[in-house]
Amino acid sequence: MSVRQFSAATSVLAMMAFAAASPAHAVTEIQWWHAMTGPNNDVVNKLASDFNASQSDYKIVPTFKGSYADTLNAGIAAFRAGNAPGIMQVFEVGTATMMAAKGAIKPVSELMKEEGEPFDPNSYLPAITGYYSTSKGDMLSFPFNSSSMVMWVNLDALKKAGIDAPPKTWPDVFEDAKKLHAAGNPTCGFSTGWVTWALIEQFNAWHNLPIGTKANGLDGFDTVLEFNSPLETKLLENLVELQKDKSFDYSGRTNTGEGRFTSGECAMFMTSSAFYPNVKANAKFNYTAVAMPYFPEAKGAPQNSIIGGASLWVMGGKSKEEYKGIAKFFTFLSDTDRQANLHQVSGYLPITKAAYEKTKASGFYEKNPILEVPLKELTNKAPTENSRGLRFGGMVQMRDVWSEEIEAALAGKKSAKDALDTAVSRGNQMLRQFERTATK
């Protein structure tokens, strides 16, 4: 072999070796920050793994970032530092904060249109669509894990107290709480998690009462709070009275008190429908979940509930390839079979009408009626301006303010009316500060 032939052969071998060692193409990684714990963390990891296995162009990398509030704060800080994830899970009350973070987000309706992926807002349950859309109907984020509030009931405790069926109205709840307290639940007949979500946000939607003007802030940041009407005051006054002997007993601002239900301490407990897997795994008694109670004198009640949970926001400033991959991932998540399965294994709601209908047609709810309760609440009636949802700036901090005032009333430091009046006035001050910041 000549020197020239040897050199040519060596070059060919080198090129073959380089090709063998190099990937056929670069895979685009997409960071997904989330707040899911326990079994639902496993669900998130499996969704990412299944998508990654379904194609070879993109890789979703899920990362747990702490609580909902922690994840929101981390994402905003990361955006300001120039290293935000491609996708961020944000709880529903963080919507106004995300909207006001100029340049931080890319609306999902805009993304899907640009990338040519199928996306029809009308395919989602109306209560979900309204929460995450602009007043013009453009969806801002991708619905992911949605829930609503239900009342969990210990059927064995009710039977022991001589109560034939779970209560439907607030007067029934008050009466049953007293009976339960007297019949073996001395520290808690009835309680609730997420106190402001239960006693203000869901209560007002369920009774078709405004929380604030401008469709609860959905139609503008210049909203004014108004949840201090006679009916909200009546609810809190009754709970203050029941708190005195622990027929009702306060369980905190978030869901940290939910174990009081699964342990049997509290026989009736209002909290998220997403509590289902926990109840199923830990309750050692017969239980069920029923719709939230209502005051029968409230005209048109019950109306419809509003959603909890979170959605997926697409962050701004990402590459064209990242956006293409995120759009394909959202199409992957929208698959009807995948949505139906996600609902059935996680306890969260099916976010599309098709997934709901498929689950219903399969007979799933006949064996698992509890999981249909929040869906019946959300779809009880067509949403109104009072029950489409809410969008208040600084909602995480404002919930703490509202909770402080409710706590003051329950502790006997203020009347129920004074507490709600102060919650409204303090909240309005916070809204004006947010409005000044958001409209600069």
Q: Please give the Cα distance from 262 to 279 (Å, whole number).
A: 6
Alpha helices, DSSP H only, in 209-255? 213-216, 230-243
Secondary structure E strands in 236-281: 268-272
Per-residue pLDDT reduced to its tens digit, 90-102: 998 898 889 888 7
Q: Please give the Cα distance from 402 to 391 (Å, whole number).
A: 16
Question: How many other β-carbons are positioned within 10 Å of the β-carbon of residue 429?
Answer: 12
Q: Please give the Cα distance from 382 to 88 (Å, whole number).
A: 30
Are 173 and 188 spatial neighbours (Cβ–Cβ below 8 Å)?
A: no
Are 211 and 303 spatial neighbours (Cβ–Cβ below 8 Å)?
A: no
Instruction: Please give the DSSP secondary-structure letter assigned to residue 390.
Output: -
Q: What is the pLDDT of residue 198?
A: 98
Instruction: Please give the DSSP secondary-structure letter assigned to residue 201.
Output: I
Per-residue pLDDT reduced to its tens digit, 109-140: 999 999 999 999 889 888 788 788 887 888 99
Per-residue pLDDT of the chain (440 residues; tens, 9 = 90+): 444 444 444 444 444 444 444 445 689 999 999 999 888 899 999 999 999 999 999 999 999 999 898 999 999 899 989 999 999 999 988 988 898 887 889 999 999 999 999 999 889 888 788 788 887 888 999 999 999 999 999 999 999 999 999 999 999 999 999 999 999 999 999 999 999 999 999 999 999 999 999 999 998 999 999 999 999 999 999 999 999 999 999 999 999 999 999 999 999 999 999 999 899 999 999 999 999 999 999 999 999 999 999 999 999 999 999 999 999 999 999 999 999 998 888 878 988 899 999 999 999 999 999 999 999 999 999 999 999 899 999 998 999 999 999 999 999 999 999 999 999 999 999 999 999 887 65
Per-residue pLDDT reduced to its tens digit, 27-80: 999 999 999 988 889 999 999 999 999 999 999 999 999 989 899 999 989 998
Identify which of 232, 180, 178 has the alpha carbon closest to the alpha carbon of residue 202: 232
Q: What is the pLDDT of residue 17?
A: 44
Identify which of 231, 189, 230 has the alpha carbon closest to the alpha carbon of residue 206: 231
Predicted TM-score (pTM) of this structure: 0.87
Cis before 302? omega within 30:
yes
